[in-house]
Structure 1
Amino acid sequence: MALVLSVSGSPSPTSRTARLLRHLDDRLRAQGHEVVPLDVRTLPAEALLGADFRHPAIVEATARFERADGVVIGTPVYKAAYSGLLKSLLDLLPQYALADKTVLPLATGGSTAHVLAIDYALRPVLSSMGAAHIVPGWFTLDRSLAVGEDGSLTVAPDTARALAEVTDRFSAALGGRTAAPVPAG
């Protein structure tokens, strides 16, 4: 069983990105992994924007990265790149915070014009932070994610299948599944 840190870089409390991550967290748990969510928006803004490396919340977030075997990083795409909120956290982590980690990058956005944001904006940063293995990520269109009045998430069938595949590749890269594969959907 691997320890997975699931990081949402969305500033929105009603984020589709965070809901998508929590959906994928459930799949990883069903495969036997321990998953710890981290919504960057819950970290103190003064610590993030003031680059307070010693703030207890930043110290704890850094420790979570250290303990993790794998990291799932999800972000909405803004201006053809990952969120500034996510950038502020990544800037506070040690240079090689992702050393010996398997990483799954995910992004959400409103247009296919942003599909390359993972490869051209996020992947280089993750690589520079020493990620041992960055599995192919996935870009999900906002229209493929429906949020119910109760906050539940429904993922379009084709998108659900694709996300299941990338999540399973990530799980396998962590050293294999400890439980039977979970059907998509």
Structure 2
Amino acid sequence: MATVLSVSGSPSATSRTARLLRHLDARLTAQGHHVIPLDARTLPAEALLGADTSHPEVVRAAALFHQADGVVIGTPVYKAAYSGLLKSLLDLLPQYALADKTVLPLATGGSTAHALAVDYALRPVLSSMGALHIVPGWFVLDRHITVREDGTTAVEPGTEAILGRLVDQFSAALRPVPAPALAAAG
């Protein structure tokens, strides 16, 4: 199947956004995809803020984007937009880092007042980075994501059903990136 990069743009170590992504990663893995989680908060702040594209961790992150067939991008919404942390990461990637990729944008937040952030803030930047196909994204209210006593994540049933359909649509749209053609030996 395909390789999926699952990117959390949350600066929080106890992020609902990251929990939601890891929850959805399990569904993608069950469908046979190889899922690689990337929490932007683990990248060095000095590299992100200093726009150091040569920092080994930034180079590694860029390579993960390059190798992925599809990318799930999740972010908390702050001030009606995606997180500054995610912005810093995306700014360090090559202009067309999402070329030939299928992308699923997701956002979390405390109020439905921010529901349009996926379409009006996140989708345009993903499109400008050359995404081949951006499946419909979704905004999830924080209160619809909970942590069970056993530490697993639960999503409100109605939201879970919608996200399941979106993840399935994303999964169906994935196309493995072809390996570079080998030059004929001569």
How would you bin the TM-score normalised by the shorter chain?
over 0.9
TM-score by length of 2: 0.93
CA shift for structure 1 position 151:
3.1
CA shift for structure 1 position 175:
4.4
Letter in 2 for 1:84: G
Give me the whole-angstrom Cα distance separating, in 1, the residues matched to 2:46 and 2:148: 33
How many residues are paired up?
176
The DSSP-based 3-state class of the residue aligned with 1:66 is helix
Aligned to 2:118: 118
Gaps in structure 2 of 5+ consecutive residues: 177-186
Gaps in structure 1 of 5+ consecutive residues: 177-185
Bigger Cα displacement from structure 2, 143-152 vs 12-21: 143-152
CA shift for structure 1 position 147:
1.7
CA shift for structure 1 position 86:
0.2
Mapping of residues 1-185 of structure 1, within 5 Å? 1-175=1-175
The DSSP-based 3-state class of the residue aligned with 2:82 is coil
The DSSP-based 3-state class of the residue aligned with 1:37 is strand
CA shift for structure 1 position 149:
4.7
The DSSP-based 3-state class of the residue aligned with 2:94 is coil
Give me the whole-angstrom Cα distance separating, in 2, the residues matched to 1:10 and 1:149: 23
Bigger Cα displacement from structure 2, 129-138 vs 167-176: 167-176
C-alpha contact 2:69 2:175 (8 A) present in aligned 1: no
Give every structure 1 segment of 4 or more consecutive aligned residues whose post-TM-superposition deviation is greater than 6 Å. Answer: none
CA shift for structure 1 position 59:
0.2
Letter in 1 for 2:142: D
Give me the whole-angstrom Cα distance separating, in 1, the residues matched to 2:151 and 2:14: 8
Query: Could you list the per-position Cα deviations for residues 4-60 of structure 1 after superposition, in whole angstroms to 9, with x for gaps in the alignment?
Result: 000000000000000000000000000010000000000000000000000000000
Change (3 A) 1:19 1:86: same
Percent identity between the two aligned chains: 78
Give me the whole-angstrom Cα distance separating, in 1, the residues matched to 2:71 and 2:175: 14
Task: Name which one, 1 or 2, has greater alpha-carbon Rg.
Answer: 2
The DSSP-based 3-state class of the residue aligned with 2:104 is strand
